[in-house]
Chains A and B, each alone.
Chain A
């Protein structure tokens, strides 16, 4: 376990402890009611054994007491369960909200190259696995100390010798585990680790199953999987042989406590009602004394699961620092002049600098074509303008104001962007276009659809704008998906338009068509077009754009294409 993970688990534990106070109180109340119930049962049984001392009043009282305590216990059990569920639910809500807030704040470049599907699995499944930690493990840890403690004290008060037997037996459980050199719950840990390893291998082989099938290696891999499971079994069992001794310590303590309490009382009991009551009470208390310890051992795997989750969650990016209010500026919402002033940027020392002292200026309403081979820095420039990354030195300015001093919401209002493959969200085609501006009127939506030349496409769909699309744009061609992106940009109507290889994934026939639409979109806006397609040069020609060739010149030099 890494240091980060350790700190993360500790922090979660602290938060969990705080939240779990109420369920723990209900758990203790349940144990207290249990003591009362056993008290009544023991007195009833004593009366059964010594008929001479019976009175119907006493019987009635103990039966009534027994029943009331049972109902109280039932109430406490119900409360403990529902509150534990809410503990787990609140923790999951908090973790997910925290995770998404962070990822949404840092943006696409903060994911450190982790695949979005993998992160989604973390947000859904890994966080789900934290339920047990908060709902069960944390309350169980408190109760494993408080429960036996409470019962032990009661036993001490009733009969100090028996109380001592119980407390010593209870304390011996962790001591025996430690002496055996195993530490609490090591069995659970080993088993968990072993299972996880098998799980990972199995999942990996299942994910790659088509590769195996098409390579004709099914039988070999199946045999290898069987061998791995078998090897794992024998290795794990060797460890478990020792590790189960810790559970055996608990069994031994429980059995020994019971036998010792019997032996302590047996010689003195004859026809002694008071002592018989005490003896029966303490005997029936023995299983109750060990119940919280057993419950604790049973949920130890939830703690293991939390460590595995921690490995994933502890390394998520931190929340970026908010922009200090004094620095917030206003920028006119129409007409953006974009400028880079001596900007340098690199993706870490290993990969070397991407941009070195780059300066250029795109006046409001004009278009700039960015060309260069892959890796020359086209996408880096776009990401710098989007604010997803910040320059190492120099500044990016909008109308002369440095971008890093603009609050993200204001910056986002000014920019529209179209990339290689637009993201199509689950929902209808109308909702997907409205994604750009949810409050847009139907007229504005219809206008955007028309301008993006989507009208014909939508007319052919069975339910028009209400046709569901999604799951990576199922049912839409690349050209149609790109038109949705264009419609979004029209609907957003931002003064600065960034186009990052917008036709890279399109058929040449469709490419020209899409470029026509983009040309219309570009009118009256400041545009940066990154592309290496031949057609883009034509586009730049038609819009009278300037060109920045990142290959030919590392430093800013402008050349008119026209």
Chain B
């Protein structure tokens, strides 16, 4: 329950809105009950030949019901929108500050998308769990009062009410919580099979494995459906138990009527019918609660993981220069994993142009990660000027480095806003200058909306090469003295790659350039070329 409580605490700023929405929901429910109560009262009185007034209370309850429901919808939806905006901002900030910030070094889009699904699962918490739950709680005293007027024994109806409104939802939450793990495992299995099939479509066709892969996907899907079916069946059983319990309660109210006053009995029946109808969906809310709890646990864990490299407590010493040096650096990702390098030394003088080459998996990107303080070396030092970067806050180091990699993201936003990420203070002239340097100005000028052209999701208004150039323009816009490029053209064809590096030769005058690549295209202008193999750097022919 703790993670869910954390989410609820986030809503603090909106408690008034949320409370008002809940109150209106309760009032609307009360009006609904009153409507049925008055309907029962008037009918029973009429049957008994009582004096009939114009049914003002009945009509008022009807009007109140309609108006309050409308207000409830407005206010509670407004409150929900506020709350879910708050949760998103909190999650984003938390994730940015935590280890997940380093996810950029791997392709982790899928893991992130799943976390976003979890955040979305929390949207129903208020409207579909808390508000109905509060309503059920409020109905309890109302039922107590109305039923005790009928007959003391009628209080027995509390039991079926408690079963449907509390016991069954609780059980449903437990079932759903257990099931959620099984479903997410089965879902991951299906996802992997789908990804394997589609990423390996070439191999699948060439090795005539279409039937095999289809069978694999279907088997994984069946496992998923089986897990979901299990929950559906169990919840259905709970619903049936709930339904029968409720109807037993209604029958009890009816039968007790033979031992009590007729009018009070009719009223009790109508109220019981309305009350039970209002809580009949509670087991479903229980299922949602169970699922939300699991989602909340994952979301809170990701958002509160904290940075892998905590910032130093002491005030940072002043920076003396921007030369970078790795001094006898040893690093491994975990204690039970082999060292990526045990004693790595590397000098990157200010203004130099260096390439670090090596096959994939040699640890090239680890060098970038260490420099960006996404991870900290276990031994040795990394210095910026004469200062050990361990003594500097991550923000201070990163502001001196403009980083561009194949995972550098283009946002679904305008070209202008994508560029401004590099330097929010840049004016129009500087934006164009950066585009000019990245040789993209012509393309942007030809777009109907120029800088304000909207990029599709993942930037797919532009071709792959143009996208990389836009990312480069953004990187150039930043005034950081060090440019760190990690396989900026991976996934692009060789001609595009060569053109990109030609551009780079002219675009970064005066800054330190570090290029990480598995091989060179031959057009790069470089001062030094290092080859990383077996955990150490060897000079390669320039």
Contact = CB atoms under 8 A, between A and B. Distances in A.
Interface string A171-202: 00000000000000000000100010011111
Contacts of A120: 191, 194-195, 197-199
Interface in B238-265: 239-240, 243-244, 247-248, 250-251, 254-255, 257-258, 262, 265
Contacts of A45: 254, 257, 265-266, 269
Interface in B208-259: 208-210, 212-214, 217-218, 221, 225, 228-229, 232-233, 236-237, 239-240, 243-244, 247-248, 250-251, 254-255, 257-258
A412 B236 contact: no
Given A202-B116, A207-B109, A221-B92, A262 B206 contact: no
B52 interface: yes
A322 to B, nearest CB: 14
A437 B55 CA distance: 83
B104 interface: yes
Contacts of B236: 77-78, 81-82
Interface in A506-530: 506-507, 510
A441 interface: no
Interface string B97-136: 1001111110001101101110110010000000000000
Contacts of A96: 217-218, 221
B329 interface: no
Contact of A222 (B93, B243, B258): B93
B101 to A, nearest CB: 4
Contact of A413 (B93, B187, B208, B277): B208
A436 interface: yes
Nearest to B254: A44
Contacts of B92: 202, 205-206, 209, 221-222, 225
Interface string B400-415: 0101000111111000
A258 interface: yes
B273 interface: yes
A446 interface: no
Grouping DSSP codes into helix (H, G, I), strand (E, B) and loop, the B interface class, with mixed when no group exceeds half, is helix
A209 B103 contact: yes
A416 to B, nearest CB: 7
Interface in A75-90: 77-78, 81-82, 85, 89
A252 interface: yes
A266 B273 CA distance: 20
A510 B89 contact: no
Given A120-B191, A262-B55, A505 B518 contact: yes
A389 interface: no
A255 B77 contact: no
Interface in A218-257: 218-222, 225-226, 229-230, 232-233, 236-237, 240-241, 244-245, 247-248, 251-252, 255-256
A255 B251 contact: no
A505 B487 CA distance: 13
A393 interface: no
Contacts of B193: 426
Contacts of B117: 125
B208 A104 contact: no
Interface residues of A, number: 140
B336 interface: no
A497 to B, nearest CB: 11
Contacts of B326: none
A262 B62 CA distance: 12
A263 B55 contact: yes
Contacts of B208: 409, 412-413
Given A206-B112, A417-B206, A244 B73 contact: yes
Interface in B151-208: 187, 190-208
Contacts of B33: none
Contacts, number: 380
B49 A270 contact: yes
Interface string B64-107: 01100110011001100110111011001101110011111100
B281 to A, nearest CB: 9
Given A44-B254, A101-B214, A477-B359, A233 B196 contact: no
A209 B43 contact: no
B35 A258 contact: yes
A212 interface: yes
B35 A123 contact: no
B183 to A, nearest CB: 10
Contacts of B145: none
Contacts of A93: 218, 221, 225
A54 B63 CA distance: 37
A478 B411 contact: no
Contacts of B277: 287
B58 interface: yes
Nearest to A84: B232
B201 A116 contact: yes
Interface string A468-507: 0011000001110000000010001000000000000111
B251 A265 contact: no
Contact of B78 (A104, A221, A233, A388): A233
Contacts of B78: 233, 237
A283 interface: yes
Contacts of A214: 101, 104, 372, 398, 401, 403
Contacts of A47: 258
Contacts of B58: 259, 262
Interface residues of B, number: 135
A313 interface: no
Contacts of A77: 236, 239-240, 243
Contacts of A67: 251
B104 A510 contact: no
A299 B93 CA distance: 34
Given A49-B47, A262-B43, A247 B232 contact: no
Contacts of A46: 47
B313 interface: no
Nearest to A412: B208
A348 interface: no
Nearest to B80: A233
Contact of A388 (B96, B195, B205, B533): B205
Contacts of B255: 44, 63
B431 interface: no
29 contacts: A70-B244, A73-B247, A74-B244, A81-B239, A82-B233, A89-B229, A104-B201, A104-B214, A108-B202, A116-B199, A116-B201, A120-B195, A123-B194, A202-B88, A206-B116, A210-B103, A214-B372, A215-B478, A216-B398, A218-B96, A221-B92, A225-B88, A229-B88, A256-B62, A259-B59, A259-B62, A266-B46, A386-B202, A478-B359
Given A195-B123, A221-B92, A506-B359, 7 more contacts: A48-B257, A77-B239, A104-B210, A209-B92, A213-B398, A240-B73, A478-B359
Interface of B: 35-36, 39-40, 42-44, 46-49, 52, 55, 58-59, 62-63, 65-66, 69-70, 73-74, 77-78, 81-82, 84-86, 88-89, 92-93, 95-97, 100-105, 109-110, 112-113, 115-117, 119-120, 123, 187, 190-210, 212-214, 217-218, 221, 225, 228-229, 232-233, 236-237, 239-240, 243-244, 247-248, 250-251, 254-255, 257-258, 262, 265-266, 269-270, 273-274, 277, 358-361, 372, 395, 398-399, 401, 403, 407-412, 421-422, 424, 457, 478, 493-496, 518, 533
10 A-B pairs with the lowest CB-CB distances in the bound complex, closest first: A210-B104, A229-B85, A208-B409, A423-B200, A48-B257, A233-B81, A374-B494, A255-B62, A269-B46, A270-B49
